[in-house]
């Protein structure tokens, strides 16, 4: 397509007003100024149009040329995505560094996929087969964990008249030719280009009945996420949003992870880039980066690129969903993305809404989160795939009543509320179990009962009831002191303490405790609830709580979180037997001494 050329009329930070291209379209990519900075049209008038520029605009001046490319902002999808690190508009950061050094030069054009690398392609269809959009035509072992599927792109339907043999090909070589009903021949490559502003199509949405196991006990137990679900994790500075999302990305049982650092501090993304290549996937033992795509758009990068970064991320996630994978998308943080919307809206002179955010903040957030879901993908058969979207929110001062948090909570179905008081006490993850919630409890219950235990829902209810009662008793203790409480209520406080300290707290830095298999989480909770019931029964018989706290099994319970992943069942069996034995011995001892009857009478 021939590029049309206009001129710059006015510059206001990332917002540039231009003229001279009457046929320009909304969201068309333009090249701005003599340095050919990348921009996107966001407002179109009769004579002029406005573009947001994804690079620093200092140094460009009115009168410089603007070139319309005729294309929408798109991403390149195909083999080579996994393990890659991109900026907010899918430019590989290692390639940018190679071209310009540690400081990125403006106006660089780098393709998202390597066009020279050859990939081993194995065809799964043959000449004469009929295909439609979304069908698999072959496999490419992209990493040691993931084998990518090559898909028939949209608009291509008909009969295969030519298909490549097993061998090595680049992503832009023709590997298949399809003849449609009109006799036209379409060439198919491994690579596709997809606009980021519109979601990739699918057949239909389906129910979400399988949990996304994160390996974080507080989440998997009290506010579980479903595969294909949406969740938000708001919290003030220092409460652990980024570390919690990093834990999600590292250990969630999604097959592919897309992590976008949207406007976050550079040191946090640096930590992820340095640490993740050395982490091992708990299932395969391979490096986690082999199933991860990282998009780094830090706070010192141009603000307009934040607005594009989450669309780039969710489009990449949808591509893997269409191959039948379960994908987890982590966005950290949507507040920084909303700040980019606010800045650009202000530069455009749009009427501000609450706290200066644009009136369309809620609808833009909804458009992003609604691209998650579990779907029946295009193509033959009933292939399923999912995109689970989890976004961090950074409310100023930890105020959950601010617009971004409130708009997000109206959309998502899982809410993990980070509590600054818990964080101040070094209680991590600092998720408040009594203010957080999940709306997927009902749909996930059957899976939990089938895969964990029929008693799992009852265990969760009992644990929540203990934590609720503990909060009520804490208020009384602050007024009259713990000595004023009866033994039965002291037992409740002790059981709640065990839940909080021995179950809910989890170290992201410990080599074992960083990840808790769901079976281990179930056994741990069952042991604590069993101990709580035994303690309640003993107290009713007249045993003092102080005597119960002398039992040696409490040390075993406190250490069960660091029992190895491959042998926790033996450890838990031993602890359960020890609980039974020590309570039986205690009751027998007190009974023989006559103390049970005496204390009951008291």
Do residues 7 and 64 touch, judged by C-beta distance below 8 A? yes
pLDDT tens per residue across span 508-529:
989 899 999 999 999 999 999 9
Exposure of 457 by Cβ count < 10 A (0-12 exposed, 13-18 middle, 19+ buried)?
middle
pLDDT level of residue 597 (50, 70, 90 thresholds):
low
Q: Is 124 helix (H, G, I), strand (E, B) or coil?
A: coil
pLDDT tens per residue across span 68-120:
999 999 999 999 999 999 998 999 988 988 888 877 788 888 999 999 999 99
- Pick from 510, 511, 509, 530: nearest CA to 572: 530
pLDDT tens per residue across span 372-406:
999 999 998 899 999 999 999 999 888 899 999 99
Do residues 176 and 190 touch, judged by C-beta distance below 8 A? no
CA–centroid distance for 144 within its chain: 22
Q: What is the pLDDT of residue 484?
A: 83
pLDDT tens per residue across span 185-207:
999 999 999 999 999 999 999 99
Q: What is the pLDDT of residue 281?
A: 79
Q: What is the pLDDT of residue 600?
A: 41
Q: Percentage of residues in the chain with pLDDT exceeding 90?
A: 77
- Spatial neighbors of 296 by CB under 8 A, at least 6 apart, are 85, 86, 87, 93, 261, 269, 273
Q: Is the pLDDT of residue 453 over 80?
A: yes
Q: What is the pLDDT of residue 516?
A: 95
Write out the two tokens for 22: 């009457």
Q: What is the pLDDT of residue 2?
A: 55
Q: What is the pLDDT of residue 268?
A: 77
Q: Is the pLDDT of residue 249 over 90?
A: no
Q: Is the pLDDT of residue 601 over 70?
A: no
Average pLDDT (46-64) is 93
Locate the domains of the chain by residue range: 1-72, 119-190, 204-439, 456-601
Average per-residue pLDDT for the chain: 92
Q: Is the pLDDT of residue 10 over 60?
A: yes
Average pLDDT (286-301) is 87
Task: Report the CATH number of the 1-72 domain.
Answer: 2.40.30.20
Task: Report the CATH number of the 119-190 domain.
Answer: 2.40.50.100
User: Residue for token digits 């007249």?
Assistant: 542
Q: Is 366 helix (H, G, I), strand (E, B) or coil?
A: helix
The conformational region for residue 70 under phi > 0 = left, psi -120 to 50 = alpha, else beta, is: left
Q: What is the pLDDT of residue 306?
A: 87
Q: pTM for this one?
A: 0.93
Q: What is the pLDDT of residue 47?
A: 87
Q: Is the pLDDT of residue 599 over 60?
A: no
Task: Give the bridge partners for 119, in sequence order.
Answer: 169
Average pLDDT (399-428) is 94
Residue ranges of the alpha helices (H) in 53-101? 93-100
pLDDT tens per residue across span 473-514:
988 888 888 778 899 999 999 999 999 999 999 999 898 999
Do residues 569 and 519 touch, judged by C-beta distance below 8 A? yes
582 vs 107, more confident: 582
pLDDT tens per residue across span 220-240:
999 999 999 999 999 988 898
Q: Is 260 helix (H, G, I), strand (E, B) or coil?
A: strand
Do residues 108 and 100 touch, judged by C-beta distance below 8 A? yes
Average pLDDT (423-432) is 93
Domains 204-439 and 456-601 share a fold: no
pLDDT tens per residue across span 318-368:
999 999 999 999 998 899 999 999 999 999 989 899 999 999 999 999 999
Terminal-residue alpha carbon distance, the chain: 93
Task: Report the CATH number of the 456-601 domain.
Answer: 1.10.1140.10
Q: What is the pLDDT of residue 283?
A: 74
One of 3.40.50.300, 3.40.190.10, 3.30.1330.10, 3.40.1390.20 is the CATH number of 204-439, namely: 3.40.50.300
Name the CA dihedral angle for 181, 187, 193, 194, rounded to a multiple of 10 degrees: 10
pLDDT level of residue 602 (50, 70, 90 thresholds):
very low
Name the CA dihedral angle for 270, 271, 277, 280, rounded to a multiple of 10 degrees: -160
């Amino acid at each position: 397509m021939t590029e049309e050329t206009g001129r710059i009329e006015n510059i206001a930070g990332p917002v540039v007003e231009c003229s001279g291209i009457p046929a320009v379209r909304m969201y068309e990519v333009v090249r701005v100024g003599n340095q050919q900075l990348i921009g996107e049209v966001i407002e179109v008038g009769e004579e002029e149009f406005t573009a947001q520029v994804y690079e620093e605009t200092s140094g460009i001046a009115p009168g410089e040329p603007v070139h319309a490319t005729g294309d929408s902002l798109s991403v390149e999808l195909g083999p080579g995505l996994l393990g890659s690190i991109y900026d907010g508009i899918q430019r590989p950061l290692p390639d940018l560094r190679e071209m310009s050094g540690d400081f990125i030069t403006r106006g660089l054009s780098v393709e998202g996929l390597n066009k020279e690398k050859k990939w081993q392609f194995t065809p799964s269809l043959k000449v004469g087969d009929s295909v439609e959009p979304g069908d698999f035509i072959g496999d490419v072992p992209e990493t040691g964990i993931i084998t990518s599927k090559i898909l028939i792109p949209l608009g291509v339907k008909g009969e295969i008249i030519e298909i490549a043999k097993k061998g090595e090909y680049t992503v832009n070589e023709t590997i298949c030719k399809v003849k449609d009903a009109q006799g036209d021949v379409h060439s198919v490559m491994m690579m596709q280009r997809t606009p980021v502003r519109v979601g990739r199509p699918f057949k239909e949405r389906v129910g979400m009945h399988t949990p996304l196991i994160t390996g974080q006990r507080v989440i998997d137990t009290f506010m579980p996420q479903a595969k294909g679900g949406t969740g938000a994790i708001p919290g003030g500075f220092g409460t652990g949003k980024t570390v919690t999302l990093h834990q999600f990305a590292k250990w969630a049982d999604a097959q592919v992870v897309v992590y976008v650092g949207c406007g976050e501090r550079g040191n946090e993304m640096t930590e992820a880039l340095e640490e993740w290549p050395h982490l091992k996937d708990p299932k395969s033992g391979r490096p986690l980066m082999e199933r991860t795509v990282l998009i780094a758009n830090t706070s010192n990068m141009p603000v307009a690129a934040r607005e594009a970064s989450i669309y780039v991320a969710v489009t990449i996630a949808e591509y893997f969903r269409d191959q039948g994978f379960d994908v987890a998308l982590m966005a950290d943080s949507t507040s920084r993305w909303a700040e980019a919307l606010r800045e650009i809206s202000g530069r455009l002179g749009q009427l501000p809404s609450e706290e200066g955010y644009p009136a369309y903040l809620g609808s833009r957030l909804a458009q992003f989160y609604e691209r998650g879901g579990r779907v029946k993908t295009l193509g033959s058969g009933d292939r399923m795939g999912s995109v689970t979207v989890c976004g961090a929110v950074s409310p100023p001062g930890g105020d959950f009543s601010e617009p971004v948090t409130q708009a997000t909570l109206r959309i998502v179905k899982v809410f993990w509320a980070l509590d600054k008081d818990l964080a101040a006490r070094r209680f991590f993850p600092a998720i408040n179990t009594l203010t957080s919630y999940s709306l997927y409890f009902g749909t996930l219950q059957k899976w939990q009962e089938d895969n964990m235990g029929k008693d799992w829902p009852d265990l969760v209810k009992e644990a929540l009831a203990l934590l609720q009662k503990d909060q009520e008793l804490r208020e009384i203790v602050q007024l009259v002191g713990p000595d004023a409480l009866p033994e039965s209520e002291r037992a409740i406080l002790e059981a709640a303490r065990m839940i909080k300290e021995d179950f809910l707290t989890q170290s992201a830095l410990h080599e074992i405790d960083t990840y808790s298999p769901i079976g281990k989480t179930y056994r741990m909770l069952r042991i604590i609830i069993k101990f709580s019931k035994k303690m309640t029964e003993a107290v009713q018989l007249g045993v003092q709580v102080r005597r119960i706290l002398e039992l040696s099994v409490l040390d075993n319970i406190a250490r069960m979180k660091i029992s190895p992943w491959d042998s926790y069942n033996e450890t838990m069996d031993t602890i359960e037997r020890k609980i039974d034995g020590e309570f039986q011995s205690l009751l027998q001892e007190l009974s023989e001494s006559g103390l049970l009857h005496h204390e009951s009478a008291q």
